[in-house]
A = this chain, B = another copy of it.
């Protein structure tokens, strides 16, 4: 509802070095031969964002797309009543702004949730490679299917059932992203906006799960640990 000026200036972390990228096999240039990779690298920047920074805004005629290397990004749609709905949560390896690859304007507003590192890939680079690189075309298709899968999941797991069930699904998802089983704490507002419930309902359900010991706040940075076994029982009343 309220307008907040979001500083967009990221830190330039350097020209990308895809060949040595830790998540190379999960990102866009996965199958590219080295010589083609060299061409791509020239224009790909590695950027570092603070939390709550704007990557792009819905409707903009974008000329770049982003690969998330670290952190988490939310894709947001504005609702008729002025509020907003989080449509998807992007994790490391996901792509934001894929739609520019077919010449479309951005279909969402993309905002970082945590400290985030991304690769910014110009559309021009993509187009140059795509012509003689069926590999890249295939990679793009994989990304698209990925987006569809995530969207379906947002519908089936995160927007269906009682509030507690949705939250259970969300916590299970977030905690599945790190090997150590911890997950990033979202604000109650973002939770609600993603799950299609109000902030208060999200807060109540979370507070309740904490009281029952299914979720415990981690002292350090905004993270939580949860009992996946018990949460799974709530998520899927078998």
Contacts and interface: CB of A to CB of B under 8 A. Distances in A.
A238 B159 CA distance: 24
Contacts of A134: 130-131, 137
Contact of A85 (B87, B99, B156, B237): B156
A145 B98 contact: yes
Interface stretch (A41-49, A76-84, A114-122, A181-189): A76-84
Identical copies in the complex:
2
Contact of A87 (B104, B130, B137, B156): B156
Q: Which 10 A-B pairs have the closest CB atoms?
A: A151-B151, A144-B144, A80-B236, A137-B137, A159-B159, A147-B148, A77-B156, A102-B141, A102-B145, A87-B152
Interface of A: 77, 79-81, 85, 87, 98-99, 101-102, 104, 107-108, 130-131, 134, 137-138, 140-142, 144-145, 147-149, 151-152, 154-156, 159-160, 196, 235-238
Given A144-B148, A147-B148, A151-B152, 20 more contacts: A77-B152, A79-B160, A80-B235, A80-B237, A81-B237, A85-B156, A85-B160, A98-B145, A102-B138, A102-B141, A102-B142, A102-B145, A107-B148, A107-B152, A108-B152, A137-B141, A141-B141, A144-B145, A151-B155, A159-B196
